[in-house]
Amino acid sequence: MKHLVTHKSILEATRAYAQAADDGAELLAGGTDVVDRMRQGISSPEPLIRILRHLPDTIEAEDGFIRIGAGARLCDVATHQTVRAVPALEEALLHTATPQIRAGATIGGAIRQRVRCHYFRHPDLQCLRRGGNSCLARGGHHESHAVFDTEAGCVAVHPSTLLTAMLALGGSLTCLVDKETKTFLVDDLVGVDLRDPHSDLALPAHAVITRIEVRNTPSRQGYLRASPRELADWAAVEVAASLREDAGRVVGARIALGAVARAPRRATAAEAALIGKPLTASSIVEAAARAADGAQPLPGTRYKVQLVEGAVRALLERIA
Amino acid sequence: MGVNRRSFLKGAGAAIGAASVARAEDENAPDKADVLDVDEPVEVRIDLNNAPCTLRVLPDTPIAHAVRELGLTGTKLSCEGGACGACTLHADGAPRSGCLTLAVELEGARLTTIEGVGSPDALHPIQRAILETDALQCGFCTPGFVMAAVAFFDRWKAQGLAGRPPRDDVAQALAGNLCRCGCQPALLEAVAAACAGERARAPGGAVVHEERALPRVDGPEKVCGRARYTVDVQMPRMLHGAFVRSKVPHGVIQRIDTARAKRVPGVVDVDLWPIARDKGWGKLRFVGQPIAVVLAENEAAARAGARAVDIDVAQLPFVVEHRDALAANAPLVWAPEERGDVPAAGESPKEPEFLRRWEGNVRRGLVFEKEPGEHERAVHDDGVRVELHVHTEVQMHATLERHGCVASWDGAELTLHTGTQTLDMVASDLAEHLELPRAKVRVLSEHTGGAFGSKAGLRPEHVVAARASMRWRRPVRIIHSFADHLLVGGNRPGTNQRLRVGASLDGRVRAVEHHSQSMCGIAVGERSTGLTTDHLPRQTRAIVDENVVTHTAPACAFRAPGFPPNCFSLEQAVDEVAARVKRHPLVVRLAGDDDDVRRKVYRVAIEKMGPVRERAGTGHRFMRGTGIATAEWWVLAAPSCTVELRAHRTGHVEVSTAIHDLGQGARTVLLNLVHDELGLPKGQIHTRVGDSRLVPGTGAFGSLTTPSVAPPTLAACAQLRALLVKGARRMHGDCRETPTGVLVGRKLVPWRELFVALDADPVVVLGRRGDDPDGYKLPPTRLGALAAVTPVAISQDIVASVQVADVEVDRHLGRVRVRKIDVFLDAGRIASPVTARTQVVGGVIQGMSRALYEARQVGARSGVPLSRSFDAYAILGVADAPEVEVHFVEASRTHNPAGALGLGENSTIATCAAIANGVYRATGRRVMQTPVTPAHLLEVLA
């Protein structure tokens, strides 16, 4: 970084970002990712654009949705009265990072943070994302990497727990793209371009997230993280689920898996297996057995097939 | 925001003067962005510890660096990646990572650092509770834990909640902080008790000599962030050094060009000593190998300079993985003619070259066949046969305080501040390098932020900093970056082992065949069959112990070198025998063993431990089992150790010796012994350690501090008592000596009242340890790598231990949860019960961390280590910590007059095997590698 820039308005910041993003501009909000990358010698943003003061940080419930400003800190969201009604979101946020990071990191940054791959985060290595010819993790240490969509390109997983919860709950992002305010459904966002190693979300590269929205209509829901350590660890597999029931039968199911692919993804076969059935020990086992359908494990991520099944089962048993 | 900020009219590029930052958004305003230049300091106004403060910082300066620059060094910098929590401070009441928060972003904020929380005279309830539970050792992480805990405490109180908060809530609050010494169980207790307003309970378990329990001597300064570590030493006109290191695993330097580096603003010099001192100049053998040091006016310039040193390297084929190193055509790490230069990895003696046998990258060490050929028959005999193949990963010391030093030269003498566990060795070796008399070199190591074996001996930064301070007549500070710290800050070799055990049908082990290979990086000397030899002294044995060299950083001694991996294989094999013959695992061990110490400890464990739980919850998600493992360690001693007492007529005593308090409580041991022997109030006893100018002590390794220092302390106290008796006779005429003072007529005058009669002020006495009266297994020798200066003897004692792990396996999530570990261990007479127990708990936690989480990763194709942060090298977190109960057993014969034995190593050896056996008892499956990751556990359970 050579310059730290503060613009007068979010529109100007957005415009400046759009103009310079291809040349290395980055946004500074909570800073817990970008400052880390700068200090580790991974990234050298120029300029670094301060955006936090322009971002809304309100948390409000309206029309069956919770709207959260992109500048809200994770800790404030996690402990907000309104969010109690959405345990999948609350639990997801409380499993994110550490108290110190949650007190600094913002909602927008939690979605925009870069992958945690140790090859990507090594200043002396050139992975696909940093101009190299191949994904170094694919033939190396990749135990924390993808188990779906692994046929080509980068195999790092999306690091956002928040996004996994949002995918289960149903929701959207509101962004500024140039001068336009645009809304993107989470279900569309996770369709990333696997050929493009820089694509973390199906979102215009220069979009500035200003708000998120998640559904808070009542449902059976929750979040579960499988990680080597109990807390303050990156997920090996994470799952968030939201089930709607009618007359004792599941009529709507959204089960989202995180830390398994380039973006969070729905376990559609598991969801389908639940629809129309009561939530019982046997329907849970059947659904969980389908959770990893379509997996294409790497040699080091074979265990994640089992782990996806186990995590989905453990979560469904908990919320049943 | 301050005076140096420049404003630009977009496009015009002309500065038009400072303007305040507009918070209101005005779409129609011209784009007048506020641009801060990274090289120009700005002013940031904050409220710091309840006083207004203007920081002058560069725009990219993290707040932790900024407050440390102000001298508030209680905020520690360790990982600098937001993972360890050592730099935690409060911004507007919330705990933040000081390393990832830019100071400029805190304009107007209310900031609190550890210095604003409490002082030794006015402790915060959290600080007091941490002292009461002795929830600290080296103390480096402590301020960060205090800050995280205080934030939780304040919230708890603000919500009007009463009683003890749930464990999970406390664990959540402390999840962002790492402790390498292993104080997590006590920290959880401390915070819960403080919130409830209760007196915190000292670590659980049977309490020995309860009346002597007290918080550690240096606790108050540590919980208040006032303890000064090497990284906190700041001096005027200081130069800063940054290393240039090899980025390739194997190669030869063709050319080094320092011209560009020397042009970097602020760079003063580039010293090529690290590479120039090597024989076979320019040969690079691992990523991280030191090449040069850039010296500059500040740390940033030094690092920039280091990046600007241009080096051409001809790369060579390399091996970083075990199987590649063994391949027939593998590149050699050491060619035959170079093998005399191989560094030593452990504490074992470096044997003469003619005793070494090399085959490619394999250096064969000890080969031991008790009765040649006999074991083959014995392990295949009828009865029980067990064969295990285990793999243990490389574990890194990963101390929270990074390696480094500050050297200063006053024209006649050199002073070196450095975190070390071998003051004397550093001082002597450095004097030799600098061609100075030993007396002209002083090494200071007041506090050390974790060592565990890694901070022993002279290191390149010591020599470079010392040379530069003499040349430039300025203090020189070299502190490694955290990534460098993990590269060269020490590691425990990984192992591949094959173990075969033959036992009779009653479970008595009759024969053992053990083939172990340790991956020591470029070094040799690790021995990972020592426990097999010691535990099974009478059995038919065939042992082959080999080192495999690879192009990775040299291993070094790590708490009980070689023993934990050995225990992982051996104790699983013995457990397997017990399971096959369906007998209690400790009964099986008793059957084949006639050593009194081991028998006593095993018996106490059998008596006190609950039933062995097996296969509880089979078919369900959670399965539970009880795992047992045993261990032992030698009792080492430095007979040359001395202790000085300086007694004043006021009744104040200064006790001093050149030993080290790494957090194990050496100061507290000294103070307690003097307190007991002289009956002085603890406030009148002052301890001094960590200074090479003090009377000769001992290095801190091999659990030898207490067995070395306790006898001379008692001897010095005895001498002082004799002088007090003399004074009493002068003052009172005839009187009689008793253990607590003198009898004058029928009146007892306690020792403390006799100091007024000393015939000088102060009186100085020197206690010498001398030899154990009954001799040694191995007499004092300077052979070992770390005993090069202080001769070390192996006493006739041993210490033994049993660990019992209550293990729960989560079949769905592939996770091992350890609910409780009971430790039964023999430690002789305990001089300081609280710190002793804390140290044992720490050993257990480190063992568990190794068992379940720790693995250094090296890119196989690049040869580059990936584990360069706590994000990429997981260690145990607070939430994972089990309850640990320590049961001291006084079993040893104790051949030294103080009855003192060490416990640092013995407490960490058995944990990984106990957990592995617990997994077996829970699931019926054996884990064959550490760490037991979800991937490995799910594979085993599948």
- Residues of B numbered 442-501 whose beta carbons fall under 8 angstroms of chain A's beta carbons: which are they? 483
B878 contacts in A (CB within 8 Å)?
Answer: 231
User: In whole angstroms, what is the distance from residue B207 CA to residue B185 CA?
Assistant: 17
Question: What's the whole-number mean pLDDT along residues B465-483?
Answer: 98
Residue of A nearest to B98 (CA): A100
A6 contacts in B (CB within 8 Å)?
Answer: 21, 33-36
> Of A219, A282, A223, A266, which is closest to residue A246 (Cα–Cα)?
A219
How crowded is residue B84: how many other Cβ atoms within 10 Å of its Cβ? 30
How many pairs of residues across A and B have Cβ atoms under 8 Å apart? Answer: 214
Task: Decide if pLDDT at B401 tops 50.
Answer: yes
Q: What are phi and psi of B337, to 5 degrees?
A: -75, -10
Question: What's the whole-number mean pLDDT along residues A289-300?
Answer: 98
What's the pLDDT score for residue B279? 66
Q: What is the pLDDT of residues A134-160, one digit of tens each?
A: 999 999 999 999 999 999 999 999 999
B491 contacts B519 by C-beta, under 8 angstroms:
no
What's the pLDDT score for residue B25? 44
> Of B595, B609, B612, which is closest to residue B802 (Cα–Cα)?
B609
Q: Which residues contact B454 (CB under 8 A, 6 or more apart)?
A: B397, B399, B403, B489, B490, B556, B557, B558
B208 band by pLDDT with thresholds 50, 70 and 90: very low
B699 contacts B424 by C-beta, under 8 angstroms:
yes
What's the pLDDT score for residue B619? 85
CA distances from B742 to B238, B679, B751, B763 (A): 55, 12, 7, 19
Q: Do B175 and A99 touch (CB under 8 A)?
A: yes
Q: Do A52 and B33 touch (CB under 8 A)?
A: no
> Of B412, B406, B457, which is closest to residue B437 (Cα–Cα)?
B412
How does DSSP assign A289-300, residue by residue? HTTTTT----GG
Picking from B813, B858, B932, B933 by the largest number of A CB atoms within 10 A of its own CB, the best residue to mutate is B813
Helices (H) and strands (E) counted in chain A, each on its own, are 11, 12
What's the pLDDT score for residue B581? 95
Task: Decide if pLDDT at B12 tops 80.
Answer: no
Whether B85 and chain A come into contact, CB under 8 Å, resolves to yes
Whole-number average pLDDT of chain A:
96
Q: Give the alpha-carbon dihedral of B163, B165, B167, B172, to 10 degrees.
A: -170
CA distances from B259 to B248, B308, B313, B612, B788 (A): 22, 9, 17, 68, 40
Within 13 Å and on the Cβ side, how many CA atoms surround B882?
28
Q: Give the alpha-carbon dihedral of B418, B420, B422, B426, to 10 degrees.
A: -30
- Residues of B numbered 565-604 whose beta carbons fall under 8 angstroms of chain A's beta carbons: which are they? none
The minimal CB distance from B88 to the residues A100, A122, A310 is found for A100
Q: Do A141 and B853 touch (CB under 8 A)?
A: no
> Of A157, A41, A165, A35, which is closest to residue A107 (Cα–Cα)?
A165
B785 contacts B344 by C-beta, under 8 angstroms:
yes
- Strand order through the sheet with A48-50: A26-28, A48-50, A3-6, B34-37, B6-7
Q: Which residues contact B595 (CB under 8 A, 6 or more apart)?
A: B537, B798, B800
A48 contacts B33 by C-beta, under 8 angstroms:
no
Whole-number average pLDDT of chain B:
91
Question: What's the whole-number mean pLDDT along residues B117-132?
Answer: 94
Q: What is the pLDDT of residues B794-847, one digit of tens each?
A: 998 889 999 999 999 999 999 999 999 999 999 888 888 899 999 999 999 999
A205 band by pLDDT with thresholds 50, 70 and 90: confident
Q: Do A119 and B21 touch (CB under 8 A)?
A: no
A156 contacts A145 by C-beta, under 8 angstroms:
yes
Picking from A54, A98, A116 by the largest number of B CB atoms within 10 A of its own CB, the best residue to mutate is A98
User: How large a percentage of chain B has pLDDT more than 90?
Assistant: 80
Angle (CA) A294-A300-A306 rounded to 5° is 50
B780 band by pLDDT with thresholds 50, 70 and 90: confident
User: In whole angstroms, what is the distance from residue B476 CA to residue B238 CA?
Assistant: 5
Residues in a beta bridge with B818: B807
Q: What is the pLDDT of residues B22-72, one digit of tens each?
A: 344 444 555 689 999 999 999 999 999 999 999 999 999 999 999 999 999
CA distances from B901 to B452, B636, B644 (A): 18, 9, 21
| 3-state DSSP of B42-89 | EEEEEEECCEEEEEEECCCCEHHHHHHHCCCCCCCCCCCCCCCCCCEE
Q: Do B33 and A7 touch (CB under 8 A)?
A: yes
Range from A40-44, A94-98, A226-230, B829-833 carrying the lowest mean pLDDT: B829-833
Q: Which residue has the higher pLDDT, B702 or B399?
A: B399
A234 contacts in B (CB within 8 Å)?
Answer: 871
User: In whole angstroms, what is the distance from residue A210 CA to residue A196 CA?
Assistant: 25
Question: What's the whole-number mean pLDDT along residues B495-507?
Answer: 94
Which pair of structure tokens corresponds to residue B581?
């013959």
What's the pLDDT score for residue B582? 95
Which pair of structure tokens corresponds to residue B941?
């359970």
**Residue A277, min C-alpha distance to chain B (Å):** 23
Question: What's the whole-number mean pLDDT along residues B390-408?
Answer: 98
Question: What's the whole-number mean pLDDT along residues B519-548?
Answer: 91
Q: Is B270 helix (H, G, I), strand (E, B) or coil?
A: strand
Q: Which residues contact B24 (CB under 8 A, 6 or more apart)?
A: none
Task: Decide if pLDDT at B546 tops 90.
Answer: yes
B938 contacts in A (CB within 8 Å)?
Answer: 303, 306-307, 310
Question: What's the whole-number mean pLDDT along residues A300-318?
Answer: 98
What's the pLDDT score for residue B4? 42
B21 band by pLDDT with thresholds 50, 70 and 90: very low
B288 contacts in A (CB within 8 Å)?
Answer: none
Which pair of structure tokens corresponds to residue B522?
């470029």
Q: Is B120 helix (H, G, I), strand (E, B) or coil?
A: coil
- Strand order through the sheet with A249-258: A220-226, A237-246, A249-258, A265-266
What's the pLDDT score for residue B23? 40
B714 contacts B897 by C-beta, under 8 angstroms:
yes
The minimal CB distance from A231 to the residues B82, B172, B934 is found for B172
Q: Is B6 exposed, middle or buried (0-12, 13-18, 19+ CB in 10 A)?
A: middle
The sign one gets for the Cα dihedral A28, A30, A32, A35 is: positive
What's the pLDDT score for residue B616? 86
Q: Which amino acid is at B619?
A: G
B548 contacts B376 by C-beta, under 8 angstroms:
no
What's the pLDDT score for residue B207? 35
Q: Do A303 and B814 touch (CB under 8 A)?
A: yes
> Of B378, B619, B352, which is closest to residue B504 (Cα–Cα)?
B378
Task: Decide if pLDDT at B520 tops 60.
Answer: yes
CA distances from B695 to B420, B428, B436, B659, B698 (A): 17, 14, 20, 9, 10
